[in-house]
Amino acid sequence: MMKADMYSSWAIVDLSAIENNIRYVLKRTKVKVMAIVKANAYGHGAVPVAQAALNAGASWCGVARVSEALELRQAGLTCPILLLGFTPTDRYEEMIANNVSLTVWKPEQVQLLSAAAEQVGSPAKIHLKVDTGMSRLGIQSKDALAFAKTIADYPHINFEGVFTHFARADESNPTPTNSQENLFLDLLASFDRLNIRPPLVHAFNSAASLTRMSEHFNMVRFGIAMYGLHPSSDCQLPAAFRPALTWKTVLSHVKTLPPGRGVSYGHIYITKKDERIGTVPVGYADGFRRLQGNEVLVRGKRVPVIGRVCMDQIMVQLDNVPEAKAGDEVVLIGKQGEDEITAEQVAATWGTINYEVTCAIGVRVPRLYI
């Protein structure tokens, strides 16, 4: 059965691409890999992607919300999971009971986690987040040593890891990342002098994993590159990487309109002659942004989206594809024929980044796995 007979639009996720990309970074870095599957695996589907990454050799999964950690556990995944962001205090016991490691950056968190762990009867596993320049979460690097020295005073706490996050690793200028890395290395040296370095130390994200080497860290956090998406225009993936996601839909209707006809809300597009117009069942409710300048692929050719993007539908101008007919496949992201529309190209049209493009693909779009 054709996909168009079942769905209005659909995303195909190639799990072998996920596995390929994980194997590449394992071979390059020769350390543990944490597969970052937050935000529904950047829109690709958390559980299937996590399973594929683990099958390929990843050791950990990283998430950003309690619900994301629970989704993995409820699916039967037993791998170590790190909740990278904020955990509401009322969920501490639940996370400890589900063997989820938590990020901390202030003493009050450790105190509350110690009490929660006593209630649960299992230790709370923690990773200390150090702010070396991202200026987001994390204890300031100058205060981290004093804090870390107190962690051993709390019962039921397993000081499992310490990490930082680079703000500019995907840029061509290495100086800002060098500065952050050096701050972190100085802190680790202080930990070593006091014999309080935890078992896991991680700093490299996708961009750093592909452009830097370090003998000081024993795990990398692999996010955007795992999906075959470029970290930035300055940090392009090696040719061996493969994008995992293709987003498709279908021509639901094709018609010829006379000159002077308005198309879609507000009639910002007016036909100039007899024009073949196609209707496509995808819209901003599905994550296809309400901006001008979009293109899609029909029969291997780029065609412009015309008029305003609606909640559930778009219109395309088909004059350069005279053979197009209702039922034809339409590609929003991916290859068709000899052409390809990448997530990076869509991001450029939308004035954003590829991360947001795939994360925004909505729940109405089923993910199909190959």
CA distance 15 to 51: 9
What is 91-157 written as a DSSP string?
GHHHHHHTTEEEEE-SHHHHHHHHHHHHHHTSPEEEEEEEESS--SSSEEHHHHHHHHHHHTTSTTE
Which residue is catalytic, options 106, 149, 265, 284? 265
Whether 106 sits among the annotated catalytic residues: the reply is no
- Tell me: the pLDDT tens digits for 318-336? 999 999 999 999 999 999 9
Residue 219, pLDDT above cutoff 60: yes
Q: How many CB atoms lie within 10 A of CB 194?
A: 10
Residue 185, pLDDT above cutoff 60: yes
Whether 269 sits among the annotated catalytic residues: the reply is no
Structure pTM?
0.96
Residue 2 binned pLDDT confidence (cut-offs 50, 70, 90): low
Shortest CA distance to 63 belongs to which of 48, 75, 80?
Answer: 80
State the sign of the Cα–Cα–Cα–Cα dihedral 158, 164, 170, 174: negative
| Domains, in order of start, for the chain | 15-227 (3.20.20.10), 245-341 (2.40.37.10)
Which residue is catalytic, options 38, 125, 129, 248? 38
Residue 269, pLDDT above cutoff 90: yes
Residue 1, pLDDT above cutoff 50: no
Report yes or no: 289 and 350 within 8 Å, Cβ to Cβ: yes
The mean pLDDT of the chain is: 97
- Tell me: the pLDDT tens digits for 6-41? 999 999 999 999 999 999 999 999 999 999 999 999
What is 29-98 written as a DSSP string?
H-SEEEEE-HHHHHTT-HHHHHHHHHHTT--EEEESSHHHHHHHHHTT--S-EEE-S---GGGHHHHHHT
